[in-house]
Amino acid sequence: MASTGARCSFGTTTRPLASPRTTSPGRMAELAIRRGGHVRVGLEDYAGPGEPSNLDLLRAAVALISGLGHAPASTAQARQILGVPPATRSPLGLGN
């Protein structure tokens, strides 16, 4: 993955993205973070033992990210990284 990501020139924000399929948070997630990449977590990507919740997976990813000396992106930072414009209203239409 790392060598493929290094050869691709998709844009200045493109980096390896890990989506762990075996355990949470997973070796691929750790490798992606160590190489400056991004990770995402969620039940759709989980194939490990047990039945964790999305919150369990999120907490494990935050622990991994923090343990490697980084901080998770805020919602605003993630939108900026991905080139998604700021939300103009909440999904429920309740304001910002």
Has residue 72 got a pLDDT over 80? yes
Has residue 88 got a pLDDT over 70? yes
Q: How far apart are CA 49 and CA 60, in angstroms?
A: 14
Q: How far apart are CA 53 and CA 10, in angstroms?
A: 33
Q: What is the pLDDT of residues 6-62, one digit of tens each?
A: 433 344 444 444 544 444 457 888 888 898 888 888 888 777 788 899 999 889 889
**Positive or negative: CA dihedral 52, 76, 84, 87:** positive
